[in-house]
Amino acid sequence: MQIGNKLFPYPTINNNTLRSCFKETVYSFKCNDYNDGQNYILEDARIEINNENIKKKIKEGQLGVGLIIECSATVYRKMYELTIEPQTIKIPIGELRDKVEVSCYIYAKEQIENFNDNDFLEDYDGYCFKIDKNDIIAIDDGYSTIIAYDDSMDKKVSSIFQIIRDKSLQCMVIEKKAKKIVISLPEEEFTYYDNLRKNDNFQNIFFAMLAIPALTYCLKEFQDTVKLGDYELEAIEMEYNWFISVKNAYKKQYNVELTEEVFKNLDVSILSQKLLNNGNLNGIKDLFNISIGRKLYGGEEDE
C-alpha cells in the first residue's frame, strides 16, 4: 500500500519530511530484513518516533501501528500489528515471489474527537481535528524488495513424475516405478492436461491436483512398510531412484538428513506440499487470479 502524494483533511506525519505536516516529528519503520531460504524475515521490526503525544496515544490504545506486506504475484496481503518495541516477523518464502512491498502506518483504532498536537505546522496551529477509526496518522511508504524464489528444488522434485494417457481408464491411477511416479489419466482428461501444461498459470493447479496427491500416496506406502519393518529406507532408495530426489529436497528444505527414524514420524501429506512449493495453496491463489482476470478483462486467459 502506497500513500504517495495523497492529501488528508487533517495533519499527518510522513517519513518524507517534505510531505509531513509536523515541524519536528520524525517517524520511520525500521527492521533488518533477509531471506533465509525458508522464510522472509523482518528482524527487530519496529517504529521510531520522537513525538511523545503520539507515543502516549499508542500506549493508551487510541492509535495502532500496522505493518503491511503485499505481494501481487502471489496475492499475499497481510497487516501485522507493531509497537515501538522490536519484534521479529517470519513469512514462509512460498507465500512470496518477485516484488514485495513493505509499508508501515500509524492509524486510529477508535474515533478521536479532538486530535491536536503542539508540533503541527503553523497552518494547523491551534486547530483540533476529528479523526475517524482507521484514519491514517503517520506514513512510511517503506520499500520494495525482490524475493528471488529458487525453483531449482521444485524442478528437481517435479521431474520425478510422468503423466501419461491411458484410454482404458475412467479415473486417475498412480504407480510407483523405479525411475518415476507414473500418473495415468483417461483420454479426455489427459488431452485437457496436455493442452494446458505449458501455461505457467496452471502449474500450481496441476501440482495440487496431480503431483501432491501422487507423492503423498507413494510416501505413505513407503512409510507404512518402514514402520512395519518390511522395508528399510536404504532398500527403498535402491529400488526407487526417484526417492533420492525426495531425500535431497528434504535436506535442502530442512537442512537435515532424512533418516529412517525421521521418516517414520513425518506427516507425509505436509512434506509433499512443502517439497512441491505448497502447490495446493498457490493453486488456489492462481485460480483466484485467473477468475478475477476474466471478470476484469473478459474472455479467456492468454497462454
State the pLDDT at residue 303. Answer: 41
- pLDDT (0 to 100) of residue 49: 92
For the chain, where are the alpha helices, taking DSSP H only? 52-60, 152-158, 187-196, 203-206, 212-228, 233-239, 242-254, 260-264, 268-275, 279-297
Type of residue numbered 165: R
Strand-pair category, 136-147 with 13-14: parallel
What pLDDT, on a 0 to 100 scale, did the predictor assign at position 155?
54
* pLDDT number for residue 39: 82
Q: Dump pLDDT digits (tens) for 149-189.
A: 555 545 556 688 889 888 888 999 999 998 889 999 999 99
The residue whose grid cell reads 489419466 is: 185
CB 273 within 8 Å of CB 280: yes
Q: How far apart are CA 89 and CA 187, in angstroms?
A: 48
Cα-trace Rg, the chain: 26
- DSSP 3-state percent helix, strand, coil across the chain (nearest 5): 40, 30, 30
Which residues does the chain have with pLDDT short of 70? 1-2, 37, 148-158, 293-303
